[in-house]
């Protein structure tokens, strides 16, 4: 079963962390990725740039208009995701709990099953 484990970050929370804490998060993700690769559960992972760099695109009367993002008036934004293929939902939740973000107040990790997927699997 495929699951998207998405990480919802609060940029203010991330900024408030010490260098050591940030490094620990980075290392935690590194170890997590390595373990997922070894178990054969990782399909893909992506991290996104800061929400301040987002652009919102809309097309009105055939004319595209681009404004500054982000789209949502929220404190938390999508920071990146893991796409995994694992045995069942319990395993997906177990994997998500290993992500360092889960230990930090203000950062959220969400798990949802994939319904449809297409694209280059060799990528």
Q: Looking at 49, 59, 66, 115, which residue binds other proteins (CB under 8 A)?
A: 115
CB of 86 to other proteins, least distance (A): 8
* Residue 101, CA atoms < 13 Å, CB-side half-sphere: 26
Binding of residue 37 to other proteins (CB under 8 A): yes
Q: For other proteins, give the closer residue by CB, 19 or 122.
A: 122
- Return the number of other C-beta atoms located less than 10 Å from residue 70's C-beta: 15
117 binds other proteins (CB under 8 A): yes
DSSP β-ladder status, 42-47 and 77-85: antiparallel
- Measured from the CB atom, the residue of 67 and 116 that comes closer to other proteins is 116
């Amino acid at each position: 079963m495929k699951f998207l484990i998405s990480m919802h970050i609060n940029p203010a929370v991330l900024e408030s962390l010490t260098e050591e804490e940030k490094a620990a998060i980075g290392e935690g993700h590194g170890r997590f990725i390595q373990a997922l690769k070894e178990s054969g559960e990782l399909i893909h992972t992506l991290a996104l740039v800061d929400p301040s760099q987002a652009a919102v695109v809309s097309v009105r009367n055939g004319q595209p208009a681009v404004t500054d993002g982000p789209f949502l008036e929220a404190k938390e934004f999508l920071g990146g995701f893991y796409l995994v293929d694992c045995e069942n939902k319990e395993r997906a939740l177990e994997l998500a709990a290993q992500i360092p973000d889960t230990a930090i107040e203000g950062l959220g990790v969400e798990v949802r099953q994939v319904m449809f997927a297409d694209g280059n699997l060799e990528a």
